[in-house]
Structure 1
Amino acid sequence: MDAMVLAAIAKWPDVPACYGWLALDARGAWRIAGERVMHAGLAAFFSRNYEVGQTGEAYVQNGPQRAYVTLEDTPYVARVEASGTFRRLPDGVAAEAAAVWLSDDGVFYVELEGRLARVHDHDTATLAELLVAPDGAKLADAAWDGWPASRPDAAVRFAAGSIPLAYADATTLAERFGVVREPAGAA
C-alpha cells in the first residue's frame, strides 16, 4: 500500500467507506460508474492499493477512505505467463496454480496463493493447449470429442508438474472461496 495512503489513514481514521462507484471487470480492468478507467496512473494507484479483506470483500484504500469494489466475477484475473505460471491482476503478483477448474460455460479458474482467479479470456486457448490425458498426451492430439468435460481424467501440465482439471460452476467456486461480488453497503 502506498505510504501516502497509510499516512492518510493515520491522520483521518474514521472516514466512511464508499460503495457502488468502483468495479473490477472479468478482464481485470478498473471501471468507475461503468466506464473503463483509461488513465494509466489512476489504474496503477487502484492496483497498488487493492486488497481482499477477511470477509471476501474487495476494496481499494483510497487515501483514508476504503472504496469497496464490485466484482464482475472474481477478485483476481489470471494471465498465463510464458513460463507456465500466472500473473494475477490487478495486483501483478506472479504465482503458480494450486488448482484448476473449468466451468460449464468454458471459463477456466485457478487458485493462486489461496485466492480464486478467473483466467483471462485471451488466455483460454493457451491454457487449453496445456491439457493432457493420463498418458501425458495433449488432449488436442488425443482421440476425444473436443470438450474437456468428457475427459474426467484430464490434467493441466505446467513446468512444475501436472494439476488435475476439476469441473465447477462459478457460483460454487465463489462460495468456496468466500468471494463477495457485491459488497454489502452497495445495495
Structure 2
Amino acid sequence: MDQSVKDALARWPNVPAVHGWLSLDARGRWRLHPQGQAADGGPGEPITNTQILEFIGRNYGHDDAGRWFFQNGPQRVFVRLDAAPYVLRLADDSRALVTHTNAQVASVDSWWLDDDGQLYAMTPLGGGIVLDRDLPPLLEKMTADGGAPLLDALDALTPSQAIAAAFPGAYAAVPLHSIAARDVPKRLGFIPCPQADPA
C-alpha cells in the first residue's frame, strides 16, 4: 500500500466505504461504474490510464470477510469481481504466473477446474482465474503424476476425487479438483459483489 494512502487513512480513519463503483472483469480489466450500479451487472467503463491502473494495483486488498477493495486514500472502494480476485497470466517467459496487478505468483496451493472449463488457482495472494487466452498453453505445460501430460489425465477427474497437477519448473504438484462454477467464490474465499451494510 502506498505511503500516501497509509497517511490518509491515519488522518481520516472514518471515511465511509463505497460500493458499486468499481469492478474487475474476467480478463483482468478494471471498470468504473459512474452511477454506482456495478451490482446491476453492467460492464461499466474501462479504465485505461496507466498511472491510475498502477495506483489501483498497488492499493488492492481484502478484508477478513473476503471482500476485495481498492484503498483510494482514506476511502475503501469495494470491487465487484466477475471471476476471481486475481486474473492470472503466463509471465513473458512463460515460466510462471503473474497477476493482473503484475505481482509474481510464488506458489500455488491448489488448482480448481470448473464445469465451464475455467481453471482457478489458490495462491498466497488469493484466488485467481487463469486468463482465457493463456489457459491452453498453461495446460500443455502442466503435468500429472509421474510427469504425464495433465491434459491426458483430466478425463479421470471426478467431483469426488483430485489429481496431482504440477507446473514443472514453477510450481510443485498440488491437488487439482473439479468444482461447480457456482461454488468457486465460497471455495476460494471471496465475495463476488460486496454490498453495503444495512443502516
Structure with greater strand percent: 1
In the alignment, does 2:108 pair up with 1:97?
yes
Q: 1:180 to 1:133 in 2, by over 3 A?
A: closer
Output one character per residue of 1:123-153: Cα deviation in whole Å (capped at 9) or x when no partner: 101121024354433256x5x8xxx3x2335
Instruction: Point out the more displaced range, 28-37 or 170-179.
Output: 170-179
Q: 1:88 aligned to 2:99? A: yes
C-alpha offsets along residues 156-180 of structure 1, whole Å, 9 cap, x if unaligned? 3421533343211233231123210
> Displacement of 1:93 after TM fit?
3.6
Amino acid at match of 1:170: A
- Residues 16 and 91 from structure 1, CA distance in 2 versus in 1: closer, same or farther, beyond 3 angstroms? farther
Q: Provide closer, same or farther for how the CA distance between residues 91 and 62 of structure 1 changes in structure 2, counting only shifts above 3 A.
A: farther
Amino acid at match of 1:3: Q
1:41 maps to 2:46: no
User: Tell me, which stretches of 5 or more residues in structure 1 are unaligned?
Assistant: none
Change in Cα spacing, 1:186 to 1:127, as seen in structure 2 (3 Å) is: farther
Q: Measured at CA, do residues 96 and 84 of structure 1 come closer, stay the same or move farther in structure 2, by a change above 3 Å?
A: farther
Deviates more, 1:12-21 or 1:86-95: 86-95
Q: Is the 8 A contact 1:87 1:95 kept in 2?
A: no
In 1, distance between residues paired with 2:145 and 2:58?
41
Contact map agreement 1:86 1:96 (CA 8 A) in 2: no
For residues 62-100 of structure 1, the C-alpha deviation after alignment (integer angstroms, 9 at most, x for no partner) is 011111111111111111234642212226243221211
TM-score (norm 1): 0.85
Of 151, 158, 161, the residue aligned with 2:156 is 151
Q: 1:65 aligns with which of 75, 83, 92?
A: 75
Structure 2: 5+ residue runs without aligned partners?
34-43, 158-162
TM-score w.r.t. the length of structure 2 is: 0.81
